[in-house]
Structure formats: C-alpha cells, structure tokens
C-alpha cells in the first residue's frame, strides 16, 4: 500500500518530458528509417534498451540517457528487445529474419544465437524470458517455441510437417530434464522445443511473473464485435515437466492490439490488462483489468471506456511496478497530421487572398488539433480505473507529431517515470520533476 501511494505521488509530479536525440543530429530524428520500434527496461531500472529501423539496438543509462552500448550485428531490424529478468548486463533481441540473439552489454557481443528456418513464411512476433532467465519463449508464425539457450548452440529449426509429437521425458539426453514435444536442432544437447501450435498467427507471448503460466495471443480470422483486427488471449499453465502446453485456464475471446504489447501481466501476478471491443463487457471499447487469482480468475475487476480513435491506435498497455497504475500509448495518425511548417502556404498556390486566408486558417486549426492529441494516458487503479495523466506532443517543437510505437514504465520507485519511442525515431523521457 505504501509503494502504491509513493508511486501515485511520483506520477502526479512528472516533468514535461524531454526528447533524446540518440543519433546526435536533429535531422536524423525525423527519418522514418530510424523508427524506434521496441523499448525495455532492465529489472533494476538502471538501463533501457531500444531497437531501431537502422538495424541497431542501443542501451542507455536512465534517466541520464548516456549511451552505454550500441549493438550493431543485426542483419535485419530487431523487432523486439527484452532484458534478462535478473541480470541487467544481458538482453535478447529478435529480428524479422527469424533470428534471436542474446547479448552481453558490457562486451557488446552476442552470447547465444538462434536462427530459425528461413523457408518458414513467418517472422518472430514476440519473445519472453522465463522469470528464472534460463530459457526464452518465442512466438513465430503459428508456433510457440521454447529455447533452452544455455544448453544449446548453433540451433536451426527444420520443417516440422509430418513429424509426430512425444511427451516422454528425455532426462538422459537433456540436462534440464524437459519433456519433449518436438525437438528441432543441430546440436546433440537439444534446446529448442515446440510447446504450442495454432491454426492462426501468434502475436503475443509472455510468461507470468511466477513462471507458472504463459500468455498466448492468436489472431482471430473473424470478429463478431468489430471490424478491427482482434486477438484471442489464452492463459496456459506452464511446467518444465509438462510440455506441450495443456488446455487454457483462461480465455479472453477478443482484444484490440496493434502489436504484441497490447496485453500485460501485473508485476504482482494478480491481474491482466487488455483492451476489449464492444460486446465483450459493454457497448463500447474498454480498457479492462481481469483477475488472475484462482478463486475469481477471469473476473473483470475494473474497466474504463475508450473511444474508437484511441482504441484503433492502441500500441501499449503496461502496468507499473506497484501494479497500481496503467500506461496506455497510442499511434495516432489522422488526416490532421500536418507539420507546422506546412501551415505557411506560398501565395502562388492560390488564386485569391480569400482562398489563401481560408486554407491557411484551416491548416493551422488542424495543426493545433494535433498539438492537443492525447497520445499517452496514465490510469490509477483505485476503486476503478481513473485517468490521472494525459500526455500530448511537446508544443515547443516545430515537428510535434508523435506516433508512439512503444512505451514502458521505469521499474522501481527511486526513479519512477516512463519512456516512449515513436515512428519518426524520437525517444521521450519522463521522470520526477
């Protein structure tokens, strides 16, 4: 309770946020090729890492934003970055090229590397460390793979069509004594297992903080409630001695999400947050918090309406460290997306003074509307979901459109704040004022 109160006070007194020019030049911040795609914090809040469209992963100290390392050996753009759950020197990246690499930050070098079969027509859409940090779940295409990376090397998944599954223990052949569903690897030790297969593309994979459950998000081919793309969430029990996964213990039939960050376990393990379409809980889109307690698992504890514009642009839902606040970020890209410099129209474009004045005022109004767009919201879970903070693009900048790809809270109370990354490459940092 004390942590929740301290966290609330910190979030009520954040600064206005500052933009970090991670490339060292102002012009580079507006190059879409350097889009900031994914951000994650180390468990102790000392560092955050970001992936970018120029095939790099950068590690920064928080909140100073001092560049700690640049990891450049990605053949393609790293789509996801995740820190080790207990070692802030280790992080994992997954790229479009069906590769997952585990890095040492201090050495700026790969520790382990996994390359999946390039003939598989799917990319890696999500990764998640087990809370013990010794294995990673990988969502690729219609499969969830488990990579026991410390007991494998030079791995390569082969086409699994026609192979039969087995659930026999192979403790004599595998040092971690995992039951095997399907094993694909070049090394005799093994290390890569298919633990779940779906008929649809898998967008979300995440271990529960306890390690006893795993969340899987599968694309719905059709929706009964909305024309938007929806994901079915299922929560499965996870055990090292029982692979593949069994039937789910909880199913949320439809959620709205732009990417794999649209649903999140609370750090205390008691809740799950997601955005659900009309017809699931109410007549409107809702940010919903579900219980994960065994006596009322699946019950909706709190919900708050969300308008269609924001629900269709939702990129992130994240719990805070104390599990008492929620961060919602949005990729807003409307017809009003007009840079400030475009509000000045050359006289030669229009035939009359009246036409020039009318169009100029229209563009200025649209630009001002962009300045007031709510691109990020912070909610408090206190007898419901209460909106306590709304973030808009910084009006002091000439280029003020921020389409957020990723946003995360900093863990812990000593440096409470959050960071977001945008499509045009900006990183914006908020901390206690």
- Read out DSSP for 112-129? EEEE--TTSS--EEEEEE
Mean per-residue pLDDT, 237-253: 92
Burial profile 92-131: b = 16 or more Cβ within 10 angstroms, e = fewer: bbbbebbbbbbbbbeeeeeebebebeeebeebbbbbbbbe
pLDDT of 227 higher than 90: no
**pLDDT grade, residue 4 (50/70/90)?**
confident
CA distances from 185 to 71, 155, 235, 359 (A): 26, 5, 27, 63
Write phi, then psi, for 307 (nearest 5 degrees): -70, 165
CB neighbour list of residue 103: distance below 8 Å, 6 or more residues apart: 57, 71, 90, 91, 92, 93, 109, 110, 111
Predicted confidence at residue 340, as pLDDT, reads 37
Say if residue 191 is exposed, middle or buried (CB neighbours under 10 Å; 0-12, 13-18, 19+).
buried
Q: Which residue has the higher pLDDT, 29 or 305?
A: 305
pLDDT of 236 higher than 90: yes
CA 69 to chain CA centroid, Å, is 21
- Number of continuous H segments (helices) and E segments (strands) in the chain: 3, 28
pLDDT of 225 higher than 80: no
Q: Could you tell me the pTM of the whole model? A: 0.82
Mean per-residue pLDDT, 72-85: 84
Burial profile 160-170: b = 16 or more Cβ within 10 angstroms, e = fewer: beeeeeeeeee
Predicted confidence at residue 28, as pLDDT, reads 39
Predicted confidence at residue 93, as pLDDT, reads 93
> Which helix (H) or strand (E) is 327 found in, with range?
strand 325-330
pLDDT of 273 higher than 80: yes
CA distances from 181 to 120, 168, 195, 292 (A): 19, 8, 6, 27
Predicted confidence at residue 362, as pLDDT, reads 53
**Around 280, how many Cα atoms within 13 Å sit in the side-chain half-sphere?**
29
Tokens of 337: 């997306």
Of 48-62, 86-100, 219-233, the one with minimum mean pLDDT is 219-233
Intra-chain end-to-end CA distance of the chain, in Å: 23
Predicted confidence at residue 206, as pLDDT, reads 97
Tokens of 14: 């954040």
Predicted confidence at residue 99, as pLDDT, reads 87
CB neighbour list of residue 338: distance below 8 Å, 6 or more residues apart: 363, 366, 367, 370
> In the 8-state DSSP scheme, what is residue 282?
S
Of 3-7, 146-150, 192-196, 260-264, the one with minimum mean pLDDT is 3-7
Which residue has tokens 């899987």?
216
Of 138-152, 182-196, 397-411, the one with minimum mean pLDDT is 182-196
The share of the chain scoring above pLDDT 70, in percent, equals 74
Indicate the average pLDDT of the chain. 79
Q: Which residue has the higher pLDDT, 234 or 168?
A: 234
Q: What share of the chain is helix, strand, coil (3-state, %, to 5)?
A: 10, 40, 50
The share of the chain scoring above pLDDT 90, in percent, equals 46
Predicted confidence at residue 257, as pLDDT, reads 87
Predicted confidence at residue 201, as pLDDT, reads 92
Mean per-residue pLDDT, 147-169: 47
Predicted confidence at residue 333, as pLDDT, reads 67
pLDDT of 370 higher than 80: no
Asked if 48 and 39 touch (Cβ cutoff 8 Å), the reply is yes
Tokens of 208: 């529960």
Which residue has tokens 């039939």?
253
């Amino acid at each position: 309770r004390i942590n929740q109160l301290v966290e609330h006070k910190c979030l009520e007194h954040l600064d206005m946020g500052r933009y970090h020019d991670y490339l060292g030049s102002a012009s580079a911040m507006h190059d879409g090729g350097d889009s900031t795609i994914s951000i994650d914090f180390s468990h102790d809040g000392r560092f955050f890492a970001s992936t970018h469209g120029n095939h790099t992963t950068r590690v920064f100290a928080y909140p100073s934003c001092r560049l700690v390392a640049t990891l450049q050996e990605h053949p393609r753009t790293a789509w996801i970055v995740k820190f080790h759950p207990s070692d802030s020197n280790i992080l994992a990246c997954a790229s479009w090229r069906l590769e997952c690499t585990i890095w040492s930050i201090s050495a700026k070098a790969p520790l382990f590397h996994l390359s999946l079969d390039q003939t598989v027509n799917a990319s890696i859409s999500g990764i998640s460390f087990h809370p013990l940090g010794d294995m990673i779940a990988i969502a690729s295409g219609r499969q969830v793979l488990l990579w026991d990376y410390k007991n494998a090397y030079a791995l390569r998944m082969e086409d699994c069509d026609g192979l039969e599954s087995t659930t026999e223990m192979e403790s004599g052949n595998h040092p971690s004594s995992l039951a095997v569903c399907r094993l694909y690897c070049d090394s005799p030790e093994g290390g890569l297992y298919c633990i779940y297969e779906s008929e649809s593309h898998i967008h979300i994979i995440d271990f529960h903080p306890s390690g006893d459950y795993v969340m899987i998000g599968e694309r719905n081919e059709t929706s009964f409630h909305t024309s938007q793309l929806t994901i079915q969430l299922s929560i499965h029990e996870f055990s090292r001695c029982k692979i593949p996964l069994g039937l789910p213990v909880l199913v949320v039939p439809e959620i709205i999400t732009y990417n794999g960050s649209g649903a999140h376990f609370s750090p205390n393990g008691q809740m799950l947050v997601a955005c659900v379409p009309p017809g699931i809980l109410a007549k409107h889109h809702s940010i919903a918090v579900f219980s994960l307690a065994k006596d009322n698992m699946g019950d909706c504890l709190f919900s708050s309406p969300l308008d269609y514009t924001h629900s269709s642009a939702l990129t992130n839902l994240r719990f805070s460290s104390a599990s008492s606040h929620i961060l919602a970020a949005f990729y807003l890209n409307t017809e009003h997306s007009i840079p400030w410099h475009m509000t000045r129209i050359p006289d030669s474009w229009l035939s009359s003074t009246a036409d020039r004045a009318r169009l100029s005022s229209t563009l200025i109004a649209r630009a001002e509307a962009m300045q007031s767009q709510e691109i990020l919201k912070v909610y408090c879970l206190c007898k419901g979901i209460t909106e306590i903070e709304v973030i808009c693009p910084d009006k002091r900048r000439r280029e003020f459109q921020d389409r957020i790809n990723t946003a995360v809270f900093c863990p812990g109370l000593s440096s409470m704040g959050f960071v977001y990354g945008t499509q045009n490459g900006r990183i914006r940092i908020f901390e206690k004022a």
